[in-house]
Amino acid sequence: MRNTNKRLRDIISNGGMARVMAAHDPLSAMLVEEAGFDGIWASGFEFSAAMGLADVSLVSMTEHLDNMRRMASRTHLPIVADIDTGYGNAINVLYTVEQFEAAGAAAVVIEDKMFPKVTSLIAGGRQDLVSIAEHQGKIEAAVSARKDPDFMIIARVEALIAGRGEEEALARAHAYEQAGADMILIHSKQKTPDEIESFINAWTGSVPIVIVPTAYPQMTEARAKALGKIGILIYGNHAIRAAVTGMQKVFAQIIEDGGIERVNDTIIPVAEIFRLQRMDQIKENEKRYLR
C-alpha cells in the first residue's frame, strides 16, 4: 500500500513548500516524478481535456477515481486529487473521500462551487458558489471520512474567481478552517499576483495556503516562499498544455513534409518509450519465469 500521506504533510509541517505538477494519466505522472517534483496534481481539468471533454462536471467520479488509481500504481509521489465539488452534497463527499484515500491519494481538494461546476479560468464562465454553511458541511464530512489523520482535506475558495472580492474570500477561508480543513486553496484568474498576494497578506488563519499560479506566471517559487504562508504550489495544467504543444508541432511538420524523416530527429526515440514502459524489467522477468 502507498504511504505518501505523511511525506506530503511533513514537507508542509516543517515549513516547506511542496511543488506539485499536474498529470492526466500514468505516463505523465511518471514524468512528473522523474522531473523531481514533490507531488502530483490529479487534475480534473487535465483529465477532462485528455478525454476531449470540457471541465464542466461531465467526467464521473468513477472515471476520475480509476485514472487516479492508475497513476498511483505507477508512481511513488504523493497525489493531490482534484475532486471538484465532491461529486454531490456532503453525503456524496463521505463516499468520495473514502474511495480516493483507499485508491492512494494523499490529499483531496474540494471547491465551494455548485454542481455542475464550470472550469475556473474560462472567460465569462458561470461561477456559482454554494453557501458557506453547505461547504462547511462538506469539509466536516470529508474530515470525518478519512481513515489516516495525515490524509489532508484542502478547501478550495472560489470567491475571487466568482468576483466576490477579498472580504468574502477570507470569510469563506476562515469558515472552512473552522470546519477542519488542513489547508486553504485560494484561486484567482487575475493576470498578476496582486490579488493573491493581498489575500495571503490578509490571511490570519493558522493553516497554510495552496496556490495555483496558472493565470499569473510571475509568481515564481521564490516569490511564493517569501510570502511565508504557502504550503503547496500547484502547476495546474502544464502537462496537458505541453503534450498538446508537442503533438501539434510534430503533426504539422509531418503534414508539411509529407513524411517523418525530418521530424524523426526532433522527438524522443522509441527506446525512451521502452524505458518508461520498463521493458528491461519485462525482459528480465521473461528470462526468469517463461519456460
Indicate which CATH number applies to the domain containing 15.
Answer: 3.20.20.60
| Three cell numbers written together for 135 | 461547504
Q: H-helix or E-strand containing 128? A: none
Segments forming the whole domain that contains residue 22: 5-237
- Asked if omega into 269 is within 30° of 0 (cis), the reply is no
- Number of domains the chain contains: 2
| Three cell numbers written together for 18 | 511542496
Same-domain check for residues 209 and 229: yes
Q: What is the pLDDT of residue 237?
A: 97
Same-domain check for residues 151 and 213: yes
Same-domain check for residues 29 and 72: yes
The rounded distance, in Å, linking the Cα atoms of 31 and 33 is 5
Same-domain check for residues 40 and 99: yes
The rounded distance, in Å, linking the Cα atoms of 17 and 3 is 20
Same-domain check for residues 130 and 197: yes
pLDDT < 50 regions, the chain? none
Which candidate, 29, 37, 30, places its Cα nearest to that of 8? 37
Same-domain check for residues 28 and 121: yes
Same-domain check for residues 231 and 255: no
Q: What is the pLDDT of residue 2?
A: 65
On the 0-12 / 13-18 / 19+ scale of CB atoms within 10 A, 282 is: exposed
Residue identified by cell 453547505 is 134
Q: Are 172 and 133 in contact (CB under 8 A)?
A: no
Same-domain check for residues 210 and 66: yes
Same-domain check for residues 97 and 186: yes
Q: What is the pLDDT of residue 121?
A: 81
Same-domain check for residues 211 and 110: yes
φ/ψ region of 245 (left if φ > 0, alpha if ψ in -120 to 50, else beta) reads alpha
Same-domain check for residues 261 and 283: yes
Domain boundary among 237, 257, 278: 237
Same-domain check for residues 220 and 261: no
Q: Which residue pairs, CB below 8 angstroms and at least 24 apart, start in 114-117? A: 114/85, 115/57, 115/84, 115/85, 115/87, 115/88, 116/56, 116/57, 116/58, 117/55, 117/56, 117/57, 117/84, 117/85
Name the catalytic one among 10, 25, 38, 55: 55
| Three cell numbers written together for 35 | 522531473
Residue 55 known to be catalytic: yes
